[in-house]
Each structure stands twice: as C-alpha cells, then as structure tokens.
Amino acid sequence: MSRKTNIPEDELVTLLMSRDKDAFRILYDNYSSTLYGIVLKIVGSAEVAEDVLQESFVKIWKNISSYDKTKGRLFTWLLNITRNTAIDKLRAKHEKYQIQSIDDSVYQVDKQSSATMKVDHIGVKQSVQQLKPEHRIIIDMAYYGGYTQEEISEELKIPLGTVKTRMRNAIIELRKIF
Amino acid sequence: MDTKEYISSGILESYILGTASEQERREVECISSIYPEIRKELDALSVSLEQYAQASAVEPPARVRDKIFAQIDSLEKSETKREAKVFTMERTQAPNRQFNYWLAAASVTLLIVSSVLFYQLSDKNSQLISTNQQVEQLQKEKSQSEAALEVMNRQMAMLNNPDNKKVMMKGTEAHPGMLASVLWNTQNHEVYLSVSNLPQPPADKQYQLWAIVDGKPVDMGVFDISADSSLYKKMGATQTAQAFAVTLEKKGGSPVPTLTAMYVMGQI
C-alpha cells in the first residue's frame, strides 16, 4: 500500500534539481500524505485540501531549483510552500483561520482518515496523544497555522512569555516522544 | 560563541515552527551554517516535528496525484514548444525603381551628414586629447612642487634642530670665494653637507669630505656637484670633530686627503 521509496535526501535533491520526473514521483509518494494531513488541518475541507495539495506540488516542481539544502531540511521547505499555499487559499476565501476549529478539525480528520491510516503510523499517533493539549495546540497553531507568537498569545489570551515557554517545552516533550 | 546557550535560548524552536521574525530567521540561517552543532540541533528539531506531522498523515486520493502529473506534463510541453518555435523568413516583394532612387538619394545625404559629424567628432576628440595632455602636465607640475616643498620642509627641520651644529667651510687661500657647510648632529653624530659654491670637477675626479678628529682626517664620503647640492645631504658620522674640510681627489675617493687640493674648510 505504501509507495514510499527509501532514498537519501541528498540524492533525491540532486535528481530533483536536474528536473528528473521519476525523482519527483518519489518525492510525491514520500511526502504527499504528510503534507495532505497538514493541509486538511489548515483548510478543514477535503475538497479545498486537494486543490491546495495540487497547487503546492506544482509550485514545488517549478521552484525546486531555489531549494537551498544549507538552510534546512527538504521537508521544512516543502512544508513552508504547502502551508503558505493553504493559508493563502483561506485568506482568498475570506475565512479566518480559527483556532477553535483547529482542535476540532484535528479530531475530525483523525476520525475520517482512520480507515486509510497506515499501520506504521498507529504507534506514532498514539504517542502524539501523549502530548499535553496546551502544548499540542501551540505547535499546531504555529507549525500548521502560521501564527506568530504574538498572535498565539492574543488568540489563546495567555501572556507572550508563557507562549514562548510553552513552545519550548512542547518541542522538548515532542523530542522525548520521538 | 556559546552554542549551548544559543541552543537553549528558544530561537531554534521558534525558527522551526515558523514564528521567528525575518531578522531572527536570517540570523539562525547564518549561525547554523557556521556552527555544525547548531545545524545538528536544528535538524534534530526538524526531524521531531516531521515525525509529529507524519503522525497525522492522510493518504490523498489517487486523482490528486494524476492531476499533478498531468499539469506538470503540460507545463513541460508548453516549455518545449516555446523553445522549438521557428521563425520562417518570408520573401518580400521586389521594390520598385522609384523607391530605389529615393533610397540612393537618402544614402548620399546620410553619407554627407555622417562625414560632417565625423569631422566634428574628430575635431572635438583632438581638443579633448590636448586638454587631457594639459591636465596631465599640470598634475605632473603639481606633484613636483609638492615633492620640492616636502624636501624644503625637511631641510628647515634639520636647520632648526637644536642638536645640529652648523659649521661653515670657507674657501682656502688657493680657492677664495668657495663655500660649503656641514650640519653635525651632536646626538646621533650624523654629518650633513650642503655646497653653496664649488666648481664642477673634471670627469675623473670627485670631491671628498673629511672630519678632522684629534688632528687626524677621517673620511666622510665623496660627493658630486649637482643642481641640488645646496640641500643638506647625509654623509658619514663622527663622534667628535674639531674641523671639517673638502678636498678634490681621484674618482671614488682617497684614504688620505691631498692637502694641496683642499678647497674649503671650517673649524668648530
């Protein structure tokens, strides 16, 4: 069921830079489900999420030469393009990305996708549940929602200092889990 | 730089989560490219967030994959089409005779106009060249004056130095009217010579300066007569001296002075 191909990131990037379409297929098969999961969380609708994913991968194909591996991992770059495309889509539709709906949508998507969920992800999924909700919401808002620390502080009505501390503790907690 | 402190500052988490400001982002990118341990930490943070993201991965419908590759294929095709576009040259109708006449007339006019313009241009060009030459000449003169002024300033400084003792050397009986002088520094013992009036010697001879120390002549070096002989120039050095004198010797100098060929001398 999983089409994921094991290939060193450096090698994949080199092939992508030469506009190798087979490499791009590998890229899609390796990363599309993770990115789609994130897009679903942001836009909340499968229909919109499909469009966003398509748009994002076309952008990735067009701009692959601007990826600079000295500045960070490939996934971080892919995520940035996808996240920005999703957020732009929301803005174009004049829909404010609501934090209340993040948490709801997280569980909604989880339920919806449970049928197609990969076996190797079940263990990981359970471990994510170990993350404290107050940590999880901050990671989701920042990482998926593109919120700044100030915006998180405003939305959640907690002091900026607390946002910073929680953000750091959330990552520490996350590293213990994985 | 304390990398541990930087790592624990929270800026890397902020960067990875995308909440860092533009300035912070550039800073992290720069610093992580310099310090491998910071880059390692950054990658480790990215990996744990990647795993977190994978935990909520959802397989997109197969049609999305098909649509993406169809779009990329059509993008590529339109790119190659643009590259392969060939422009064909079309034969134009032969122009009529009258048009040729006007074309010839226009060419002649153009030739005349361009000749005039060319003449004017070359005239301006030669003016420009001569102006440039004048500027160059003036610049050369200016740097020469500056150099001369610099030399005079150094001479003045030497004359005003209280450690320098000035000894006038006047013409001997055989050579009245001749004149030269010595500046003798009593601290570093250096001797400087200035010639006011000495005849140009024959080609096989040179003047030689002597210091008379406890009755014995000590060689202070040979010298030629030139346009700037009146400027004080460094000769030899002596700790003590009672007098200075100049004799005319064979070229290269002599171990002992020819007293009959003494031109000037002065006592301290």
B65-107 per-position pLDDT tens digit: 999 999 998 888 877 766 555 555 655 555 567 778 888 888 8
CA B50 to the chain's CA centroid: 55
The answer to whether B72 touches A58, Cβ cutoff 8 Å, is yes
How sure is the predictor about A159, in pLDDT bands with cuts at 50, 70 and 90?
Answer: very high
Give me the mean pLDDT over the B191-200 stretch: 94
Q: Is the pLDDT of residue A121 over 50?
A: no
What letter does residue B191 receive in the DSSP assignment?
Answer: E
* Set of chain A residues whose Cβ sits within 8 Å of the Cβ of B80: none
Identify whether residues B52 and B122 lie together within a single domain.
no
Residue type, A38: I
Give me the mean pLDDT over the B146-174 stretch: 89
A:B CB pairs within 8 Å: 138
Query: Where does a domain end: B23, B44, B77?
Result: B77
Give me the mean pLDDT over the A5-13 stretch: 86
Identify whether residues A87 and A33 lie together within a single domain.
yes
Q: Is the pLDDT of residue A104 over 50?
A: no
What share of chain A has pLDDT > 90, as a percent? 33
Note down the domain range covering A80: 1-97
Identify whether residues A86 and A111 lie together within a single domain.
no
Query: B19 to chain A nearest CA, in Å?
Result: 5
How sure is the predictor about B117, in pLDDT bands with cuts at 50, 70 and 90?
Answer: confident
Across the interface, whether the CB atoms of A125 and B55 are under 8 A apart is answered yes
What does the pLDDT read at residue B1?
Answer: 62
What does the pLDDT read at residue A120?
Answer: 43
What does the pLDDT read at residue B235?
Answer: 94
* Set of chain B residues whose Cβ sits within 8 Å of the Cβ of A58: 68, 71-72, 75
Burial readout A59-68 (b: 16 or more C-beta within 10 A, e: otherwise): ebbeebeebe
How sure is the predictor about B247, in pLDDT bands with cuts at 50, 70 and 90?
Answer: very high
What does the pLDDT read at residue B86?
Answer: 56
Across the interface, whether the CB atoms of B75 and A62 are under 8 A apart is answered yes
Identify whether residues B247 and B168 lie together within a single domain.
yes
Identify whether residues A1 and A68 lie together within a single domain.
yes
Give me the mean pLDDT over the B111-133 stretch: 86
Query: Where does a domain end: B118, B144, B160?
Result: B160
What does the pLDDT read at residue B189?
Answer: 93
Query: Is residue B49 in a domain?
Result: yes
Nearest one of B213, B209, B215, B212 to B234, comparing CA atoms: B209
Interface test with A, best of B56, B64, B74 (most A CBs within 10 A): B56
CA distance B38 to B61: 39
- Could you tell me which residue, B173 or B185, shows the higher pLDDT? B185
What does the pLDDT read at residue B16?
Answer: 86
What does the pLDDT read at residue A127?
Answer: 66
Identify whether residues B184 and B239 lie together within a single domain.
yes
ipTM reported for the complex, 2 dp = 0.77
How sure is the predictor about A114, in pLDDT bands with cuts at 50, 70 and 90?
Answer: very low
What letter does residue A69 receive in the DSSP assignment?
Answer: G
Instruction: Dump pLDDT digits (tens) for B201-225.
Output: 999 999 999 998 887 889 999 999 9
Q: Is the pLDDT of residue A103 over 70?
A: no
Identify whether residues A87 and A147 lie together within a single domain.
no
Q: Is the pLDDT of residue B171 over 80?
A: yes
CA distance B11 to B219: 78
Query: A148 to chain B nearest CA, in Å?
Result: 5
Q: What is the CATH number of the domain that holds A69?
A: 1.10.1740.10
Count of structural domains, chain B: 3
Q: Which residue of B has its CA nearest to A114?
A: B58
Of A64-68, A72-76, A99-103, least confident by mean pLDDT is A99-103
What does the pLDDT read at residue B24?
Answer: 84
What does the pLDDT read at residue A172?
Answer: 87
Query: Is residue B3 in a domain?
Result: yes
Q: Is the pLDDT of residue A141 over 50?
A: yes
Give me the mean pLDDT over the B156-185 stretch: 91
- Element spanning B220, H or E: strand B216-223
**B264 pairs with which residues across the strands?**
B171, B246
Q: What is the CATH number of the domain that holds A160?
A: 1.10.10.10
Query: Where does a domain end: B129, B145, B160?
Result: B160
Q: To the nearest whole number, what is the mean pLDDT of chain B?
A: 86
Give CA separation, B27 vs B4, B9, B34, in Å: 16, 13, 11
Note down the domain range covering B7: 1-77
Count of structural domains, chain A: 2
Residue type, A55: E
The dihedrals phi and psi of B263, each to the nearest 5 degrees, come to -95, -50
Query: Is residue B95 in a domain?
Result: no
What does the pLDDT read at residue A126?
Answer: 63
Sign of CA dihedral A52, A53, A55, A59: positive
CB within 8 Å of A54: residues ≥ 6 apart: B64, B67, B68, B71
Identify whether residues B2 and B69 lie together within a single domain.
yes
Q: Tell me if chain B has a CB within 8 Å of the CB of A128.
A: yes
Q: Is the pLDDT of residue A102 over 70?
A: no
Query: B145 to chain A nearest CA, in Å?
Result: 58
The dihedrals phi and psi of A102, each to the nearest 5 degrees, come to -60, -55
What does the pLDDT read at residue A73?
Answer: 85
CA distance A76 to A35: 11
Instruction: Dump pLDDT digits (tens) for B14-34.
Output: 888 888 888 888 888 878 877
The answer to whether B254 touches B210, Cβ cutoff 8 Å, is no
Identify whether residues B17 and B112 lie together within a single domain.
no
Q: Is the pLDDT of residue B54 over 70?
A: yes
Across the interface, whether the CB atoms of A121 and B57 are under 8 A apart is answered yes
What does the pLDDT read at residue B251?
Answer: 92
CA distance A30 to B57: 11
Identify whether residues A81 and A140 lie together within a single domain.
no
What does the pLDDT read at residue B94?
Answer: 58
The answer to whether B57 touches A118, Cβ cutoff 8 Å, is yes
- Could you tell me which residue, B113 or A123, shows the higher pLDDT? B113
Query: A50 to chain B nearest CA, in Å?
Result: 6
CA distance A27 to A24: 5
Identify whether residues A76 and A122 lie together within a single domain.
no
> Would you state the structure tokens that stand for residue B177, as one six-digit string?
């009217």
Give me the mean pLDDT over the A79-95 stretch: 83
What does the pLDDT read at residue B33?
Answer: 79
